[in-house]
Amino acid sequence: MPVSDSSSPSSDPRVADVRARLEAAHAASASPPEKAAAKLASQGKLYVRDRIALLVDEGSFVEDGRYANALQPGLPADGVVTGRGTVDGRPVIVIANDPTVKAGSWGSRTVEKIVRATEMALREELPVFWFVDSAGARITDQVEMFPGRRGAGRIFHNQVALSGKVPQICCLFGPSAAGGAYIPSFTDLLIMVEGNASMYLGSPRMAEMVVGEKVSLDEMGGARMHCTVSGVGDILVHDDAEAIEMAKLYFSYVPQNWRSPLPSYAAESPSAPLTRASVPERESQPFDVHEVIDGLVDDDSFFEIKSLFAPELVVGLGRMDGETVGIVANNSMVKGGVLFTDSADKAARFIWLCDAYSIPLVYLADVPGFMIGSEVERGGIIRHGAKMVSAVSSATVPQFCVVVRKAYGAGLYAMGGPGFGPDATIALPTARIAVMGPEAAVNAVYANKIAEVEAAEGAEARDAYVAERRAEYEEDVDLERLAADLVIDHIVEPEDLRAELLHRLRYAAGRDRAFATKRRGIPPV
């Protein structure tokens, strides 16, 4: 704000007083106090306005509610900066906690500003960037900001209304405590700064008081824990600047809102084209599926999500010929590519995201099936697997199932197999589709007979018998037979796979997006 001129003979002292107070309030939220700035520096953090400046295009940010709670000393902007700007020319809403104001805690006006910002996003269908760094609610303001119709609960209600309507991207720079921890969890993408970011419903001190557990903050809700164990976090980064860079990069893959087309970019060739050597022919030989992904997408365009969580399944966004696609791929390098409860959850949420924003899906199947055993059964492998299958079934975007090697049992279903109406099921010559692998199948069906042969004729006769049964089984599920029976739509060599998919993606662009006429499904939890 410009400095007021009170020397004019027509000046009014009351106006001069207002100007002076507004200038002071404006200045109070322009930069952190010296002590707060030192603390930010010691934590490797940026000031809230510097964070926003890194995100939005220069000169584009328009702020709302800067004078919130200006009559109360020590609460500039009431601890949150809200407004709108552009990111790479695209209009967005920004909601950013200021950790230098009462540790970014919420008061009644903090909540009102956030509610108004989310209402604006709903009205205009604008993407929302959440910059979270907050100790949670101020207990002194709880009656005003917690229970009412425009209390903190309204934030979560609006976030759910925004979900699937516009992208919501969260950078978690510091704590997100108690009920406030739900803000990041409702967003599409959660980027967490290692060493600073944390999320928890109850602090370590509260856990010790209530349940008698002694645990550190990192163990309870640290960034690495959430990105590797709980799966709440999507991407782990080193500092604020990297978090904002990743947020902008992700934004480049998704549309402005659910009605908008996907961003398009100049087409590029893959970093290393696929060859016949890219996929080992022996299904028991593990390999890194990232090599196949890199051979399909444009150079350096794969944006992996939840890379540290359930890495037996790889999900992420890439570009093929400049257009956004979603990739779901089994990785035999990790746990043999078997599907677990966590990998099923990871896949389901990613598929929902792609379906919400009209992003075509490519499944790269190399899966022995879902994990078995008492531990995973007690952990709900059936309901988690059903959640993934439900997501695959109800997605209406173009979907392509590529059988890279094995696709056994319900693993074929979870990876968008023929029964789920993909736009095409394509196989490489290395592909195998069956209820289970030959060895397991022979043992399951002929266990008693194998024991009899061994008892009567010895180990050599047993091995010969098993080999005969295995040959019969493999003939039954021969790849050419599956193609002849129209289970598979096409068989291509690895070097031709990208071109094949590109043709089919273009043709599928106008497909019908209807699934079933009903109010909603009831997916497994």
Q: What tens digit of pLDDT does each residue of 207-232 get?
A: 888 888 898 989 999 999 999 999 99
SS3 at position 442: helix
Q: Which two tokens stand for residue 360?
A: 């075509």
Return the structure tokens found at 506: 């273009």
487, 418 contact by CB (below 8 A): yes
* pLDDT-based confidence at residue 455 (cuts at 50, 70, 90): confident
Within 8 A by CB and 6+ apart from 482, the residues are 427, 433, 488
**pTM check: above 0.85:** yes
Over range 303-323, report the average pLDDT.
Answer: 98
From 90-94, 213-217, 227-231, 283-287, the region with the lowest mean pLDDT: 213-217
Averaged pLDDT score across all residues of the chain: 93
Whether 400 shows a pLDDT value over 80: the answer reads: yes
Which of the pair, 8 or 17, is modelled with greater confidence? 17
> Which has the higher per-residue pLDDT, 233 or 216?
233
Q: What are the structural domains, with CATH classification, of the chain?
A: 36-253 (3.90.226.10), 289-437+477-509 (3.90.226.10)
Q: Which of 26-30, 188-192, 357-361, 494-498 has the lowest mean pLDDT?
A: 26-30
**Residue with token string 């902008």:** 248
Q: How far apart are CA 309 and CA 303, in angstroms?
A: 15
| Confidence label for 280 from pLDDT (cuts 50, 70 and 90) | very high
**Which pLDDT score, from 0 to 100, does residue 410 have?**
94
Question: What span, in angstroms and rounded, lies between the C-alpha atoms of 224 and 208?
Answer: 22
Residue 472 has pLDDT above 80, yes or no: no
DSSP-derived secondary structure for 449-499: HHHHHHHHH-HHHHHHHHHHHHHHHHHHT-HHHHHHTTSSSEE--HHHHHH
Contact 315, 358 (CB under 8 A): no
C-alpha to C-alpha distance for 519 and 455, rounded to whole angstroms: 61
Residue type, 404: V
Beta carbons within 10 angstroms of residue 434's beta carbon: 18
- Nearest CA-CA partner of 398 in 318, 259, 511, 490: 511
H/E run at residue 143: helix 142-145
